[in-house]
């Protein structure tokens, strides 16, 4: 009966039986004929009005000639006919009646009588039972409203260890101390060392913060409590604080253990900030977290791990020593880190002999662990779609482009004129990027639309933690090369370079205002960005410079862009033959890989021989309404391709 489904089934069964009994009782009461006296029956027999009599036990049912029906009971133990003879009914009159005799069924009568007698009692008991269960359920919900919603995972059978985490070696080294403390706390206590009570994992989305916390629990072999910061906060004031208390009480009962709070910025934002000034429930919850964390003793063996991608908006009291006194930054992986992550995610997958993980790692700048996992999964799906037994390098290259830009769109049909514009636009990016001293190697050039991009030029960039002025100028020149090629070859410009111009303007303005790369204005930073802590986004820029300086900034930005555009013009004019060769090849096959592009630029490409061996499908799709050309100037996000097909305004 502890199963709620069983209890409900029994309850509904009792209610159904009661309703059936009521229905039978009402039906029987309505169908039973009217009762008459025995003397009345005798008189009507004398008058010849009785047609038939049915006798069941002591009850007689009389059917009259006019269709009427009545009933009466025998007056003594004698039979019905004997009683009628005693009351003066002649034998001839008795013989004229159609008689039926039936044996009485005592059990149904007794059951129905008992059911009828106890029906009110059963109804009352059932109603009380139903109300009691409803009240008990409501009481349980009310009592559990302030309990923690954390999910507990037992550490006896770990599913994630440090071997499953790659690309974050420094973070794993920092967290190994936490594992050692959970395994051997005496080692630290004997030396008077105090393990950090809280460890804050900071990193961009998808870098593996949650995975690292699970690995810590798996390595230590201890219980793991997982909860999101938003699960503390409710519309009722005080519920979040109650859940915090319940969570830490559970953790102390299961110590040594780990509490992991994901997205702690949902409850740990700076107090008193925001549009409304405060939020009582969130601040009470935060206060309770502060008290619980600061009240830990070294012998409780409970460690709090938290993850966020916005450490700048957390309350200072939460970040002080004694609470989250250690901050572990999980940055985007570099090329070696991405190669290690690829080895983890390709483990157990059949790879073709042409797959080189180091090349794939170099072709995925800015990818985090989640992006790489998605890319490997997409490659496996593409290989399965083609009924292949192994995953080839072509599948991985296609998967990279799908992750960055989206799937190919080969169904769009446009005119040859716009197709030609697209080819020269992408050829301009590729040729200038190849010839620039600080340019990156070209990996692929295509005029096939993909996602919201109408065409793209992909490079293999060398990763740099610091961007030089010459490299930023190279980026600007390469971005402007598509528009320059359109203007030189077609004597016309289109809207296809709109996002190129947007990126160029942001880069040039950042060089002047943020990085001090202007010879005229000098090494200064102009403008302070403002953001609302509660909103977590930049809303304005505080101008700490005069109008005359603002005018000089505009002049410098315009000068940088103009110089880059002139340089792009010069390179294209000096290498017009190479631009024509690349554009014509794009019009023929739509996609050029790195080897073919290098052969064209070196002048050793044989188009006839290549065309015979080329089995790539030709697409009639060349355009999308909006080009995709967004690239941050800090290099922290996935680097999208340069260039896009023209699109109408």
Q: What is the DSSP string of 6-31?
A: HHHHHHHHHHHHHHHHHHHHHHHHHH
Spatial distance between the Cα atoms of 489 and 485, rounded to a whole number of angstroms:
6
DSSP assigned state of 229 = G
Please, what is the Cα angle at 559 between 558 and 564, to 5 degrees? Answer: 100
Q: How far is CA 625 from the centre of its chain?
A: 29
Instruction: Return the CATH number of 335-404, one of 1.20.120.450, 1.10.1740.10, 1.10.8.60, 3.30.70.1070.
Output: 1.10.8.60
Architecture category of domain 151-330 in CATH: 3-Layer(aba) Sandwich (3.40)
Contacts for 69 with CB less than 8 Å, ≥ 6 apart: 33, 34, 61, 62, 63
The pair of structure tokens assigned to 255 is 């110590």
10 Å CB burial of residue 91 (0-12, 13-18, 19+) is exposed
pLDDT tens sequence across 550-600 = 899 999 999 999 999 999 999 999 999 999 999 999 888 888 888 889 899
pLDDT tens sequence across 370-414 = 899 999 999 999 999 999 999 999 899 889 888 887 777 766 666
Contacts for 228 with CB less than 8 Å, ≥ 6 apart: 261, 262, 263, 266
Tell me if the bond preceding 461 is cis, omega within 30° of 0: no
Higher pLDDT, 4 or 605: 605
Could you tell me the pLDDT band of residue 149, with boundaries at 50, 70 and 90? Answer: low
For β-strands 198-203 and 302-308, DSSP reports them as parallel
Is the pLDDT assigned to residue 355 strictly greater than 80? yes
pLDDT at 105: 57
Local structure of 197: helix, strand or coil: coil
10 Å CB burial of residue 416 (0-12, 13-18, 19+) is exposed
This prediction's pTM: 0.65
- Residue pair 223/152 in contact (Cβ under 8 Å)? The answer is yes
pLDDT tens sequence across 234-293 = 655 567 788 888 888 888 888 778 888 888 888 888 776 654 445 567 778 888 888 888
Q: Which helix (H) or strand (E) holds 106?
A: helix 106-144
Instruction: Return the CATH number of 416-613, one of 1.20.58.760, 1.10.10.10, 1.10.645.10, 1.20.1530.20.
Output: 1.20.58.760
Could you tell me the pLDDT band of residue 125, with boundaries at 50, 70 and 90? Answer: low
Is the pLDDT assigned to residue 213 strictly greater than 80? yes
Spatial distance between the Cα atoms of 165 and 167, rounded to a whole number of angstroms:
7
| Structural domain boundaries in the chain | 4-107, 151-330, 335-404, 416-613
* H helices present in 195-319, as ranges: 209-220, 239-253, 280-294, 316-319
Spatial distance between the Cα atoms of 68 and 189, rounded to a whole number of angstroms:
102
Alpha-carbon distances of 541 from 41, 527, 532, rounded to whole Å? 109, 6, 12
> H helices then E strands: how many in the chain?
22, 16
Is the pLDDT assigned to residue 467 strictly greater than 90? no
> What is the chain's length?
649
pLDDT tens sequence across 44-68 = 777 777 878 877 767 778 788 777 8
The pair of structure tokens assigned to 479 is 């971005």
Alpha-carbon distances of 111 from 347, 422, 592, rounded to whole Å? 72, 91, 91
Active site (annotated) includes residue 426: yes
Is the pLDDT assigned to residue 540 strictly greater than 60? no
Mean pLDDT, the chain, integer? 76
Spatial distance between the Cα atoms of 190 and 192, rounded to a whole number of angstroms:
5
10 Å CB burial of residue 218 (0-12, 13-18, 19+) is buried
Domain covering 4-107 assigned CATH 3.30.1540.10 in the classification: no
Alpha-carbon distances of 135 from 3, 13, 86, 121, 132, rounded to whole Å? 17, 20, 66, 21, 5
Percent of the chain with pLDDT over 90: 17
Which of 231, 418, 426, 590 is catalytic? The answer is: 426
Spatial distance between the Cα atoms of 560 and 506, rounded to a whole number of angstroms:
12
Edge-to-edge order in the sheet of strand 34-35: 34-35, 69-73, 59-64, 50-56, 98-102
């Amino acid at each position: 009966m502890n199963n709620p489904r069983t209890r409900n089934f029994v309850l509904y069964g009792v209610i159904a039986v009661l309703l059936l009994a009521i229905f039978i009782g009402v039906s029987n009461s309505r169908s039973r004929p009217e009762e008459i006296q025995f003397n009345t029956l005798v008189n009507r027999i004398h008058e010849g009005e009785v047609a038939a009599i049915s006798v069941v036990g002591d009850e007689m049912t009389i059917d009259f000639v006019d269709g009427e029906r009545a009933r009466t009971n025998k007056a003594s133990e004698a039979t019905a006919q004997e009683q009628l003879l005693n009351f003066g009914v002649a034998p001839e009159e008795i013989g004229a009646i159609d008689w039926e005799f039936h044996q009485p069924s005592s059990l149904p009568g007794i059951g129905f009588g008992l059911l009828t007698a106890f029906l009110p009692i059963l109804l009352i008991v059932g109603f009380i039972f139903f109300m009691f269960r409803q009240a008990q359920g409501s009481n349980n919900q009310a009592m559990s409203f302030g309990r923690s919603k954390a999910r507990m995972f037992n550490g006896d059978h770990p599913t994630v260890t440090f071997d499953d985490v790659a690309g974050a070696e420094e973070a794993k080294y920092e967290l190994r101390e936490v594992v050692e403390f959970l395994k051997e706390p005496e080692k630290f206590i004997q030396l008077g060392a105090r393990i950090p009570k809280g460890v804050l994992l900071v990193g961009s989305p998808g870098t593996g913060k949650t995975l690292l916390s699970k690995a810590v629990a798996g390595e230590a072999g201890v219980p793991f409590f997982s909860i999101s910061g938003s699960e503390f906060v409710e519309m009722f004031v005080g519920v979040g604080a109650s859940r915090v208390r319940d969570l830490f009480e559970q953790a102390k009962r299961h110590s040594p253990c780990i509490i992991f709070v994901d997205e702690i910025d949902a409850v740990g934002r700076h107090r008193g900030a925001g549009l409304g000034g405060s939020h009582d429930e969130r601040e009470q919850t935060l206060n309770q977290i502060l008290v619980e964390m600061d009240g830990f003793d070294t012998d409780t063996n409970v460690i709090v791990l938290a993850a966020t991608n916005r450490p700048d908006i957390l309350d200072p009291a939460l970040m002080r020593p004694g609470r989250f006194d250690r901050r572990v930054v999980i940055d985007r992986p570099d090329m070696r880190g991405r190669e290690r992550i690829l080895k983890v995610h390709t483990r157990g997958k059949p790879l073709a002999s042409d797959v080189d993980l180091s090349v794939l790692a170099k072709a995925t700048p800015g990818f985090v662990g989640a992006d790489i996992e998605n890319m490997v999964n997409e490659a496996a799906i593409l290989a399965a779609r083609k009924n292949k037994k192994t995953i080839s390098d072509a599948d991985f290259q296609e998967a990279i482009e799908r992750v960055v830009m989206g799937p190919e769109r080969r169904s769009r049909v446009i005119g040859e004129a716009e197709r030609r514009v697209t080819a020269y636009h992408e050829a301009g990016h590729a040729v200038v990027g190849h010839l620039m001293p600080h340019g990156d190697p070209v990996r692929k050039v295509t005029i096939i639309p993909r996602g919201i991009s109408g065409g793209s030029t992909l490079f293999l960039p060398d990763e740099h933690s610091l961007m030089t002025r010459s490299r930023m100028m190279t980026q600007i020149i390469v971005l402007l090369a598509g528009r320059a090629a359109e203007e030189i070859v077609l004597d016309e410009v289109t809207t296809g370079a709109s996002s190129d111009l947007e990126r160029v303007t942001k880069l040039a303005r950042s060089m002047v205002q943020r990085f001090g790369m202007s010879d005229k204005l000098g090494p200064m930073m102009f403008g302070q960005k403002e953001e609302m802590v509660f909103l977590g986004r930049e809303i304005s820029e505080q101008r700490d410079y005069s109008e005359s300086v603002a005018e000089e900034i505009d002049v410098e930005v315009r000068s940088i862009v103009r110089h880059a555009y002139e340089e792009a013009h010069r390179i294209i004019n000096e290498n017009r033959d190479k631009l024509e060769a690349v554009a014509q090849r794009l019009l023929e096959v739509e996609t050029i890989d790195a080897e073919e592009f290098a052969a064209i630029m070196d002048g050793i490409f044989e188009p006839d021989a290549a065309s015979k061996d080329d089995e790539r499908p030709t697409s009639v799709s060349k355009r999308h309404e909006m080009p995709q050309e967004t690239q941050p100037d800090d290099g922290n996000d996935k680097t999208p391709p340069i260039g896009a097909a023209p699109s109408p305004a």
